[in-house]
Amino acid sequence: MPLILHDLEPLHWAVAGAGIALVTLALLAVTSHRLGVSTGFENVCALVVKAPYFGRDAIRGSNGWRLPLLGGLVLGGFLSAVLGGGWEPTWALGMFDTEIGWGPAGKLAWMFVGGLLIGFGTRLAGGCTSGHGIFGLSNLELPSLVSTVSFMAAGAVTTNLIYRVLV
C-alpha cells in the first residue's frame, strides 16, 4: 500500500525498525536520555502555562534536548515531503476521505478532539508509543507493558468500531 504522502512506497519495516532502534540507542549512549516524545509537549506547555506541574525540575532541566528533538520531528517530515516529490499543503486523509468524507472543517474538529485525548492520555499514562512502547518495553518495565497493551487495545476497539460498525 503506498503512503498518502505522494503515493510513495514505504520503507521496509525491518529498515524502519532498525533506524528507530539506532536513534533510541544513540540518544541513550551519548547523553543518557530515554527516548520519549510526549513529555516534550509539557516542555512546550511550560513556555506559556505557569502551573506548578510544568515548573518541576524534570521539565525545566530538559528544554535543551526535548525542544530540539520535537523541532527535528517537524523538520524530518518537511524534508521527507521535499525530497519525496515536493512540499505542499494538503487535506488528503486516505481512507477517511473515501469512507467518511468530511471536509476541512469536519477534519479539523475531528483531529482536535483526537489530539485532546492524545495530549491528556499520554501524560496521564506517563508516555506514548516511543516512551512506553519502544523504550519502556525494551528496558523491560512493567508499567510500559501495561500502558502499551492499554493503548493498542483501545486503538483497535476504536478503529474497528469506526470502520467495521459505524461506516
Partner 1 sequence: MAVFYLVLGTVFGFILSRSGAADYNYIQGMFLFEEFQLYGIIGTAVALTAPGIWLLKRYGKTLTGRPLVIERKAGHRGNVYGGILFGVGWSITGMCPGPVLVNVGEGKLYALAALAGVLVGAAIFGCSYRVLARPFRLPPLAVGTGEG
Touching partner 1, residues 104-143 (CB under 8 A)? 104, 107-143
Choose, by CB under 8 A, the member of 7, 20, 60, 165 that binds partner 1. Answer: 20
Distance CA 19, CA 15 (A): 6
Which residue has 488528503 as its cell numbers?
92
Is 167 a binder of partner 1 (CB under 8 A)?
no
Q: Among 4, 1, 131, which Cα is nearest to 80's?
A: 4
Within residues 76-95, the interface with partner 1 by CB under 8 A covers: 76-81, 84, 87-95
The contact mask relative to partner 1 for 26-65 (x = CB under 8 A, - = no) is: xxxxxxx-x-xxxxxxx-xx---x-xxxx-xxx---x-xx
68: number of Cβ within 10 Å = 12
Is 146 a binder of partner 1 (CB under 8 A)?
yes
Rg of the Cα trace of the chain?
18
Q: Nearer Cβ to partner 1, position 101 or 156?
A: 156
Is 100 a binder of partner 1 (CB under 8 A)?
no
Residue partners of 37: CB distance under 8 A and separation at least 6: 69, 70, 73, 128, 130, 131
Q: Nearer Cβ to partner 1, position 101 or 162?
A: 162
Least separation in angstroms between CB 47 and partner 1: 10
Residue partners of 30: CB distance under 8 A and separation at least 6: none
Least separation in angstroms between CB 25 and partner 1: 4
